[in-house]
Amino acid sequence: MTIPDEKIYPRKGDTQTVYLKNVVSRPSIQVGEYTMYNDFVNDPRDFEKNNVLYQYPVNHDRLLIGKFCSIACGAKFLFNSANHALGSLSTYPFPIFYDEWGLDGKNVADAWDNKGDITLGNDVWIGYEAVILAGVTIGDGAIIGARAVVTRDVPPYAIVGGVPARLIRRRFDEATIESLLALQWWDWEPERIRRALPVLQARDIAALSKL
């Protein structure tokens, strides 16, 4: 059993929360099942317009989001075209205005540094108005604090916050984290996950391992 393609709203009467997979259309955005986005300011169906910024085809950069992620209102994903080139004497984006300066129009992307894709693992929680920058990978089970600006990779099951975001603590001890990463419960069949809910909502990793 998977999410029906036509199912957008997980909760009856709630039009602020959507299954993100079923509202994005750009091939450059890939979202796993059951990942949800909530927006009480704008229509959450406009996620790729309002929240995925500076993602232009010239860069071939992707937003990859795993399963069972929770993305709060106003979270932003800033892609490579938001950058300017730092390796030159000037940060002015001359290649964008190639007609003005007699440059080769094929080299527009030289105006910025390309740091790559943005990747979120599974069961990631992105807090209110957090900003994730290009090139960042966020590990499974991580939590990003409200209004954090994430400039570097986040390990699995880490909690980060601040500007720039820094490690606050790990959610679990190392043994528990290793077990969760090995179990990959988010890839289980929905019925198995349903049976495991009492354990998933608790902290009994030994019981989860037996299911």
d(CA 44, CA 48) in angstroms, rounded, equals: 9
Per the annotation, the verdict on 84 as an active-site residue is yes
Out of 84, 106, 152, 203, the active site residue is 84
CB 49 within 8 A of CB 76: no
Task: Give the residue carrying structure tokens 């300011």.
Answer: 41
How far from the centroid of its chain's Cα atoms is residue 88's Cα?
30
79 Cβ partners below 8 Å, 6+ apart?
52, 53, 54, 55, 56, 59, 61, 63, 118, 134
Query: Residues with catalytic annotation?
Result: 84
